[in-house]
Amino acid sequence: MESQARLVQQADDGSAPTSEGTLVYRQSGWTRLTHWIWAFSLFFLLLSGLQIFNAHPALYIGKQSGFAFSNDVLVIGAENSSTGPVGYTTILGNRFNTTGVLGVSGSTANPSARAFPAWATIPSGQDLATGRVVHFFFAWMLSATLLVWLGASLLNGHLRRDLTPRANDLRRLPKDIVDHARLKFHHSRDYNTLQKLAYGGVLFVLLPLMIITGLAMSPSMNAAVPFLADLLGGRQTARTIHFVAMALLVGFFIIHILMILAAGPINELRSIFTGWYRTDPPADENHEGSA
Quick: pLDDT tens for 103-114: 999 888 888 999
Long-range contacts formed by 174-180: CB under 8 A, 24+ apart: 176/288, 180/259, 180/291
Write down the domain spans for the chain.
Answer: 2-56+124-284, 59-115
Max mean pLDDT range (39-43, 78-82, 173-177): 39-43
For residue range 227-283, list pLDDT tens digits in order.
898 899 989 999 999 999 999 999 999 999 999 999 889 999 999 999 999 888 865
Cα distances (angstroms) measured from residue 136 to each of 61, 107, 147? 24, 32, 17
Computed on alpha carbons and rounded to an integer, the radius of gyration of the chain in Å comes to 23
CA 168 to chain CA centroid, nearest Å: 27
pLDDT score of 276? 92
pLDDT score of 180? 87
Distance between CA atoms of 238 and 210, rounded to whole angstroms?
9
Tell me which CATH homologous superfamily contains domain 2-56+124-284.
Transmembrane di-heme cytochromes, Chain C (1.20.950.20)
